[in-house]
Structure 1
Amino acid sequence: MQAYISSTLKNQLEANQLGDFDHLWNYRGDWFESPNQGRGGWSGVNRLVLEMPDGGQLGLFLKRQQNYIRRTFLHPFSGVATFSCEYKTISHLQNHGVPVPTLVFFDQKSSTEGAQAILMTEELLGYRSADRVAAEVLLNPAYTRRQKQAVITCAAKAVRSLHEARVQHRALHSKHLLVNMVNPDAPKAVIIDFEKARIKLFPLSRTRRDLATLNRDIGGLSRTTRLYFFKQYLGIEKLGFWSKVLCRLVISRSRKPKRQRQQEVAV
């Protein structure tokens, strides 16, 4: 797969000696997220600060992994780096207008130590996880009903756009759906972390799994609030026969024990 570097940040990355695979791979700094050990390798995240020509700064998230492999239909034995899958998914979603992090850099290479991959994106300033926003905004009487509805609508539309692009997130926890409340009357939502994402041709499979995960992950919300999210996701004002069936399927899956959900996925 061809390497990628942001055309708008290329010169500045190179000026900061961050414009190629070797410099980024050898970067030394504190881990933003300690490396995960698994899949036969490791994967970790650093936060960088890029000095800009105007004197400002731009936060970047540098994700590096080694021998962190995912088996795919085309590579059932050798597998591919999960960042390779995530890069392709983010590129696909950007082309479909889905709110996702801005890509800065991607590349991968083989070394004597194994398969190595790098994925770098711009930091999302002012964004908070959906569960935090639910607790701090939706359950807060200081916000108006219209502002609360705006939050729910922007989050629901973000998930809808993800599924309209035929992508199933497969791990749509509240920490992966972020909301920006800088302007309470016009909130924005972004979806992150696509290492497990897959193209799914059947809408039911996309909706049922992802909405069930999100419904289960965010606590404290009323039935009315959850129903409003569901209707905004579908783009309808009133539930019909099929939308009621879908709603029951989502609720049913969200209530199932983890082991039973995993068995369904395996099948």
Structure 2
Amino acid sequence: MTRNPFIAVNARDVLSRHGLDSFEALWALKVDAVDAPNTGRGGWSSVYRLELEDANGQQQCFFLKRQDNHRTRTLHSPFGEPTFAREFRAIQVYARQGIPALEAAFFGQRNERGHAQAVLLTRALDDYAPLDEWFERWNQLSASEIRTLIQSAAALVRALHNADRIHNCLYPKHVFIKLHGDGAGARFIDLEKTRRAIFGRRDLIRDLETLHRRSKEPTRSQRLRFVLAYMGKSRVDTEARTFISELLRRTAGKGKGR
């Protein structure tokens, strides 16, 4: 049985134009996957790129995600639910709280002969690149570009933490940033594990430590610039020193645990 799907207002026309405004149509669509399916959690989950021409002849680009019996157990669903259902709820929360992130165009789920199936369609962030790709060309970037990347990433994480939430999987590949086009900006992707910062400052430090440990390219001074931008400070003071010490202690502790 298929539940009533969510369709974003700005996606309804183009999906209807191509007969893809239903769960069944998106589930049956023949399209090549962008990578190998994820076969964990007792089922499978796969991602596809979808390019659709709208009524004005413009290409609208999406990522289509489909999964079958790929579940996660949460307090919200102790017996398990499709991981995309959890991510879709997170996308909605981020939108309500003004935290820049990927946009949902369609979401639906159904139970088909005992199989929990879900479809999540999101807007492609083609004007953006993940932070780990920026790191690959770090040495070719200008000082002003690096400064903009650091400030954009810091502002994004600060907006998240100001909303009393953590990403909970804050890898560079989940922070998308653009430098040009209609202006610099940043957005989060992969919101499946995000949650409230129930442990306060400890959770925030944990989020930042993950990003710090996974980011190999920035120099010590660039990392310091990130922390200061995150804290809204222009120079190191007692509060910043304390915060940085906590962050470095956690990083050292993670290193010992490996």
Which TM-score applies when normalising by structure 2?
0.91
Residue of structure 2 equivalent to 1:165? 163
Q: Which amino acid counterpart does residue 81 of structure 1 have in structure 2?
A: P
2:29 — aligned with what?
Answer: 27
Deviation at 1:258, TM superposition (A): 7.5
Query: How far off its partner does 1:64 sit?
Result: 0.9
Q: Counterparts of 1:54 and 1:97 in 2: how far apart (Å)? A: 29
Stretches of structure 1 that go unaligned for 5 or more consecutive residues are 262-267
Q: How does 1:1-267 map to 2 (within 5 A)?
A: 3-76=5-78, 78-137=79-138, 139-140=139-140, 143=142, 145-182=143-180, 186-257=183-254, 260=257
* % same residue: 32
Give the C-alpha shift of residue 186 in structure 1.
Answer: 4.3
Identify the range of structure 1 (102-111 vs 123-132) with the bigger mean alpha-carbon deviation.
123-132
Which amino acid counterpart does residue 234 of structure 1 have in structure 2? M
| 3-state SS of 1:157 partner | helix
Over 3 Å counting, the alpha-carbon distance change for 1:205 and 1:176 in structure 2 is same
Count how many residue pairs are aligned between Structure 1 and Structure 2: 256
Task: Please give the per-residue CA displacement for 1:193-250, whole angstroms capped at 9, x wherever unaligned.
Answer: 1111112234313322221111111112211000100111111223343433332232
The CA RMSD over aligned residues, in Å, is 2.2
Task: Report how far residue 61 of structure 1 moved.
Answer: 0.3
Letter in 1 for 2:103: T
Q: Per the alignment, in what secondary structure is the counterpart of residue 10 of structure 2? A: coil
- Secondary structure, aligned partner of 1:33: coil
Indicate how the Cα distance of structure 1 residues 257 and 19 shifts in structure 2: closer, same or farther if over 3 A, else same: same
Q: Given the superposition, is the C-alpha separation of residues 109 and 259 from structure 1 closer, same or farther in structure 2, using an over 3 Å criterion?
A: farther
Q: How much has 1:170 moved relative to structure 2?
A: 1.4
How far is 1:113 from its partner? 4.4
- Cα distance change on mapping 1:62 and 1:205 into 2, 3 Å: farther
Alpha carbons of structure 1 residues 186 and 53: separation in structure 2 relative to 1, 3 Å: closer
Offset at residue 160 of structure 1 (A): 1.0
